[in-house]
Amino acid sequence: MYAREENNEIVKYNKLPKIFDAAKDEHITLTADNCGAYGFKPLVQPTYNSRTHKRTTNIIADGANYTFEVVSLNKTLAQLKKELLLELQGYRRAAFDEGKHHHDYLKDTRRESELNSLKTKIGEFYQIHETTRAQIEALTTIEDAANYTLPMTDINAALTYLRELV
């Protein structure tokens, strides 16, 4: 993508125009090599943490490029922790929903060894949940909370196990 200032406004181009009217009766074939001479600059995607910032549709000049403006969401440490805990709670609910009907089935049919195996796996998942919850509660800075990632490998492994039970 490219952008160019036109009439005091930055205009976005998904791709360079093939032919550009540089001046009256002067049609230029634009390329990546010569587009800068006519005010076109690459429009680059900014890097930002989506927990603490958001990208707007406003385009701003950024040296040799244009980029989308990024603004702060002004979140507090408490807000970030709450969001992380709600996300974690959603995975716990999913695990409960996946495991509940299997638990009831195994309990009703008296399959003791399978039931114990299921209880063990559910217990392991709840341990992951409690450990993660404690880690989130222990976060002390906005930066730490913004960069914290849930242990998705472990969470997905537990959910996959529960989903594949039959």
pLDDT, one tens digit per residue, over 53-82 is 999 999 999 888 999 999 999 999 999 999
Name the pairing type of β-strands 41-44 and 65-72.
parallel
Q: In this model, does residue 108 exceed pLDDT 60?
A: no
What is the share, in percent, of the chain residues with pLDDT greater than 90?
49
Distance of CA 131 to the CA centre of its chain: 23
Longest dimension (CA), the chain: 88
Q: In this model, does residue 113 exceed pLDDT 70?
A: no
Where are the extended beta strands (E) located within the chain? 2-6, 9-13, 19-23, 26-29, 41-44, 53-62, 65-72
Please give the structure tokens belonging to residue 133: 């919850």
pTM to 2 decimal places: 0.69
Q: In this model, does residue 129 exceed pLDDT 70?
A: yes
- Structure-token match 């609910």, residue found: 93
